């Protein structure tokens, strides 16, 4: 621990020296360059010493720079907040609404609700509150299964001089539906629909909620109510209904809905075709999936990355990987860029089948054409530990750091769990400390696994040290 802290301090001094060389104000730098310098400092310096290092760096931030940095550290709430507070004290700088919103989301993600509401009050003082602010909070509360708090937030809007409108009403319903509280959403809708005139978006939200339940009869009921109220379904509503029916195995009925929407002048979208392709893939009806993809192109609908991903997934499910690779090549020819989801579909299937060598090849190839996300790195790290190649997992971790990729709690957990399984307690402790310093609270399972090993080796002092850091994080 002491060696690592000493190394971090030396690294901070070196970064500070380089930052001051390029931040003297002799020329104006691109925002992305400044943001990268800030990120490098944040990745290398302990949270408690961050303010001093940033002050001495001579870096001057703009709204754009702050937004870039906060988005980069969205998974490190308290570290991001430390930077947010530092930036707010800079001369000639004021936080944008976007910066506040990103920070609110980041804090809510780690359940720092008191600090989150402090920011809301700060926004109110500056006249910056809007409907979206409260929609973000409602979404985060609902996602944490704090249903009453989400409803309370909606009811509090008037007191904050932001009267709720249909957009806020839809935001509350959407937050509840996405967090599997559809019954509560339906109850609120029935009680308050006379106060707000529901539109196609309102009904689509409820429709999707019952589809996720899943409850096909209730979904049909909402669809009928929508039509009887004089609110015509739009292409989004039709798409949701097709998705619900496909997931319920009612493909023929879904095709009837598509025929109905075409009759009503609504052209099926790439999303609707991708839903059909995806369900054909699940049912191993690969020929029907291919036919649907070709039909989409014949109808003049340009496939997007989601449609291509659905076809790739369909081929992977029937172990036709060469066909899946050809689809990736076709994407390139058609000017459609693969995304991290494209990569993750291929990796998940290959790793699941134990074809880890091929998965590694795909990872290296795909990383050159699309940016891996946290799920990609987490999958690969778990795979390397599963192959008894911890050094490759750690090499990938260093690659992430070099790219200034802010890891999620799951990525950290994959590393700490893997090192614990290999008995490498020292490195697991360093990573756990790193995780906590970035403001990410470790999961109970991961911390418990490390705690068990430390007690087994009689290293209670290290356990106390980490526990104190954890307590400080929670208190902070």
What confidence tens digit (pLDDT) does each residue in 181-194 have? 999 999 999 999 99
Q: Which single residue is written with the structure tokens 């929670």?
A: 474
Distance CA 72, CA 74 (A): 6
Which residues, other chains included, contact 82 with Cβ-Cβ below 8 Å and sequence gap of 6+? Answer: 47, 50, 51, 439
Given a cut of 50, is residue 82 above it in pLDDT? yes
Average pLDDT over residues 67-92: 89
Picking from 7-16, 53-62, 99-108, 330-339, which range would have the lowest pLDDT averaged per residue? 7-16
C-beta pairs of 268-272 under 8 Å, 24+ apart in sequence: 268/235, 268/238, 268/296, 268/299, 268/301, 269/235, 269/239, 269/301, 270/296, 270/301, 270/302, 270/303, 270/304, 270/306, 270/307, 271/239, 271/306, 272/238, 272/239, 272/242
C-beta pairs of 116-120 under 8 Å, 24+ apart in sequence: 120/160
Task: Give strand ranges (E) for 218-282.
Answer: none
Distance CA 273, CA 242 (A): 10
pLDDT at 73: 87
Q: What is the mean pLDDT of the chain?
A: 89
Distance CA 393, CA 381 (A): 5
% of the chain residues with pLDDT over 90: 68
Torsion of CA 162, 165, 170, 172, to 10 degrees: 40
Contact 123, 129 (CB under 8 A): yes
pLDDT at 47: 60
pLDDT at 474: 64
Average pLDDT over residues 330-336: 92
Picking from 8-17, 206-215, 431-440, which range would have the lowest pLDDT averaged per residue? 8-17
C-beta pairs of 398-407 under 8 Å, 24+ apart in sequence: 401/43, 404/36, 404/39, 404/40, 404/43, 404/72, 405/377, 406/43, 406/72, 406/73, 406/74, 406/75, 406/76, 406/438, 407/75, 407/374, 407/377
Highest mean pLDDT among 57-61, 203-207, 253-257, 405-409: 203-207
In 3D space, the residue among 186, 210, 183 whose CA is nearest the CA of residue 198 turns out to be 186
C-beta pairs of 345-354 under 8 Å, 24+ apart in sequence: 345/309, 345/312, 345/313, 345/316, 346/312, 346/316, 346/321, 347/376, 347/379, 347/380, 348/379, 349/313, 349/316, 349/317, 349/321, 350/321, 351/379, 351/383, 353/319
Distance CA 66, CA 308 (A): 35
In 3D space, the residue among 234, 147, 145, 132 whose CA is nearest the CA of residue 185 turns out to be 147
| Structure-token pair, residue 101 | 């919103």
What confidence tens digit (pLDDT) does each residue in 121-179 have? 999 999 999 999 999 999 999 999 999 999 999 999 999 999 999 999 999 999 999 99
What confidence tens digit (pLDDT) does each residue in 211-222 have? 999 999 999 999
| Structure-token pair, residue 180 | 């599997």
Output Rg (C-alpha) for the chain, integer angstroms. 25
Helices (H), 179-234: 182-192, 200-212, 216-228
Contact 173, 206 (CB under 8 A): yes
Given a cut of 80, is residue 201 above it in pLDDT? yes
pLDDT at 7: 39
The model carries a pTM of 0.71
Q: What confidence tier does 476 reach under pLDDT thresholds 50, 70, 90?
A: low
pLDDT at 475: 60
Distance CA 239, CA 257 (A): 9
Tell me the CA distances in angstroms from 149 to 116, 153, 460, one per residue in order.
13, 6, 39
pLDDT at 20: 45
pLDDT at 26: 37
Given a cut of 60, is residue 311 above it in pLDDT? yes
| Structure-token pair, residue 379 | 């999958």
Q: Which single residue is written with the structure tokens 């049909």?
A: 220
Average pLDDT over residues 392-405: 89
% of the chain residues with pLDDT over 70: 92
Q: What confidence tier does 23 reach under pLDDT thresholds 50, 70, 90?
A: very low
Contact 462, 454 (CB under 8 A): yes
Contact 372, 402 (CB under 8 A): no
Picking from 61-75, 299-313, 384-398, 461-475, which range would have the lowest pLDDT averaged per residue? 461-475
Helix, strand or coil, per DSSP, at residue 175:
helix
Picking from 54-58, 101-105, 345-349, 358-362, which range would have the lowest pLDDT averaged per residue? 54-58
């Amino acid at each position: 621990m002491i060696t690592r802290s000493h190394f971090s301090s030396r690294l901070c001094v070196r970064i500070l020296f380089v930052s001051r060389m390029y931040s003297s104000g002799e020329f104006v730098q691109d925002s992305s360059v400044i943001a990268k310098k800030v990120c490098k400092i944040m990745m290398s310096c302990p949270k408690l010493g961050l303010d001093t290092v940033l002050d001495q760096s001579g870096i001057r931030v703009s709204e754009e720079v702050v937004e870039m940095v906060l988005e980069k550290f969205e998974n490190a709430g308290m570290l991001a907040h430390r930077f947010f507070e530092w930036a707010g004290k800079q001369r000639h700088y004021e936080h944008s609404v976007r910066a506040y919103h990103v920070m609110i989301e980041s804090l809510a993600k780690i359940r720092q609700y008191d600090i989150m509401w402090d920011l809301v009050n700060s926004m109110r003082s500056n006249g910056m509150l809007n409907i979206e602010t409260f929609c973000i909070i409602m979404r985060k509360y609902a996602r944490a299964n704090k249903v009453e708090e989400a409803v309370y937030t909606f009811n509090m809007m008037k007191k904050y001089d932001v009267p709720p409108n249909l957009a806020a009403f839809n935001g509350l319903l959407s937050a509840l539906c996405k967090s599997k509280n559809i019954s509560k959403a339906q109850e609120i809708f029935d009680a308050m629909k006379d106060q707000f005139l529901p539109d196609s978006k309102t009904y689509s939200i409820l429709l999707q909620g019952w589809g996720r339940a899943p409850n096909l009869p209730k979904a049909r009921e909402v669809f009928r109510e929508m039509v009887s109220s004089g609110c015509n379904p739009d292409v989004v509503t039709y798409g949701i209904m097709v998705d619900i029916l496909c997931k319920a195995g009612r493909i023929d009925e879904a095709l009837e809905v598509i025929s109905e929407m075409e009759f009503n002048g609504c052209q099926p979208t790439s999303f609707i075709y991708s839903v059909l392709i995806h369900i054909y893939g699940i049912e191993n009806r690969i020929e029907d999936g291919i036919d649907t993809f070709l039909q989409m192109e014949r109808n003049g609908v340009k496939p997007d990355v989601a449609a291509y991903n659905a076809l790739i997934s369909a081929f992977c499910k029937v172990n036709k990987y060469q066909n899946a690779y050809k689809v990736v090549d076709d994407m390139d020819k058609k000017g459609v860029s693969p995304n991290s989801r494209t990569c993750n579909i291929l990796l998940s299937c290959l790793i699941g089948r134990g074809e880890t060598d091929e998965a590694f090849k795909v990872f290296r190839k795909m990383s050159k054409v699309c940016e891996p996300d946290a799920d990609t790195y987490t999958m690969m790290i778990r795979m390397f530990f599963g192959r008894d190649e911890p050094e490759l997992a750690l090499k990938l971790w260093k690659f992430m750091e070099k790219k200034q990729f802010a890891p999620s709690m799951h990525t950290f957990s994959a590393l700490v769990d893997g090192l614990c399984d290999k008995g490498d307690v020292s490195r697991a402790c360093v990573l756990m400390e790193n995780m906590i310093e970035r403001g990410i609270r470790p999961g109970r399972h991961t911390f418990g696994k490390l705690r068990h090993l430390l007690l087994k080796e009689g290293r209670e002092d290290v356990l106390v040290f980490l526990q104190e850091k954890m307590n400080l994080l929670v208190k902070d």
